[in-house]
Amino acid sequence: MRKQFGGKISKKEIEEYKKISNWDGEKFVNLEPTSMDFSFQALPKFLYKQFCEKEGREPKKPLPIVPFQSDNFLAPSEKSKFIWYGHSAILLRMNNKTILIDPMLGTNASPIAPFSTKRFSTHTLELIDDFPEIDLLLMTHDHYDHLDLDSIRKLQPKVKQYFTGMGVGRHLKKWGIEEDKIIEFDWWRSEAFQDIQITYTPTRHFSGRGLTDRAKSMWGGWAFQTEQERLWFSGDSGYGNHFEEVGERLGPFDFAWMECGQYNENWSLIHMFPEESVQAAMDAKARKVMPVHWAGFSLAQHHWTDPVEKFVASAQRKSIPFHTPELGELVDLNQERQNQFWWR
């Protein structure tokens, strides 16, 4: 279990973090005041709902995943294509390069907790066997539902390069990834990767894998720019002013994957409600959107389909085009597609 925690922050790293504007001397902080205090009075009601009211929070049977077809995924295309594997795991093909985002494909999102948080789909680690070589693996932050030890270990022989938020790299190094393959980003840092400009964008969230490392690494999203396209992966976030700044600096975006799911009134500053996700996409000037961070795990007390149902309803009210692909379905952004409301 100890390996699950990853690497410990070093004095050398702390010296480096002092150069970063949102390091306050002890930890990284959000751009806006963001309290995560939990009301003691609210705790009994929360615990009752969490452990006793489970109806509808998980699908009644495992969610199927469309089998991976390498030839279709790797075939040349004028625009990007991608596959979503539930929660925030995205396999992206852009400019003839394969990019993997937040590849948590493990079976349990709470590996250090007394109760497991089981995935809605089965045999997901085996998906990695069929994946092609990964040119670039991107990590938004180090929470267990995004950074998974089993997935990283299984992916290691396939991955050429890693981009992570500042501080997340120490976990990868602890798990055997070569240091020269890892580049760590603070907010707004931008690097050219194979004719794709990749920028780490701010979010309103937090980080940590144990009791002593909260906010000791960074959290964010990823923007991708080529001559033909602009894509954006929002990352986990509460609603805030940073979305508009992302749009001003890097938009408009042709397509955006928006965090939508695992929300609760008790932590509304660090995760968005679905209607906020749609508004955040509008703030960032996204022309077409897709909800992610759902259909993988039950980490909050809403019905498992609430995130997508409410996101779709809000997008329809505001006339924003959206995608709702099945798990494992190949989406080619060069082609028009009809949404299938498969979860119903």
Is 37 a residue whose pLDDT tops 90? no
> What are the pLDDT digits (tens) for 275-322?
999 999 999 999 999 999 999 999 999 999 999 999 999 999 999 999
Among candidate residues 328, 204, 343, 322, the one with its CA nearest the CA of residue 263: 204
CB-facing half-sphere around the CA of 124: CA atoms within 13 A? 29
Strand partners, 263: none
In percent, how much of the chain has pLDDT > 90?
A: 91
Name which of 38-47, 128-137, 203-212 the model is least confident about. 38-47
Residues 6 or more apart whose CB falls under 8 angstroms from that of 179 comprise 169, 173
Distance (Å, whole) CA 258 – CA 300 = 17
Query: For the residues 119-139, what does the mean pLDDT come to?
Result: 98
The closest of 215, 61, 211, 83 to 142, measured between CA atoms, is 215
Q: What is the pLDDT of residues 179-194, one digit of tens each?
A: 999 999 999 999 999 9
- Average pLDDT across the chain, whole number: 96
- 140-173 confidence digits (pLDDT tens): 999 999 999 999 999 999 999 999 999 999 999 9
Domains of the chain: 69-332 (3.60.15.10)
Query: Mean pLDDT, to the nearest integer, of 92-103?
Result: 98
The per-residue pLDDT for range 226-246, each reduced to its tens digit, is 999 999 999 999 999 999 999
pLDDT band at residue 115, thresholds of 50, 70 and 90?
A: confident
Is a pLDDT exceeding 70 seen at residue 40?
A: no
Q: Radius of gyration (Cα) for the chain, nearest Å? A: 19
The pLDDT of residue 51 is 65
Q: What is the pLDDT of residue 39?
A: 67
Helices (H), the chain: 11-17, 43-52, 70-74, 127-130, 149-155, 169-174, 242-250, 274-283, 306-317
Instruction: List CB contacts of 63: < 8 A, sequence separation 6 or more.
Output: 86, 120, 121, 295, 327
What are the φ and ψ backbone dihedral angles of 277, each rounded to 5 degrees?
Answer: -60, -45
pLDDT for 128 beyond 70: yes
**Residue in the structure block whose two tokens are 């996700």:** 277
Closest alpha carbon to 58 in 125, 143, 121, 124: 121
- pLDDT, residue 207, reads 98
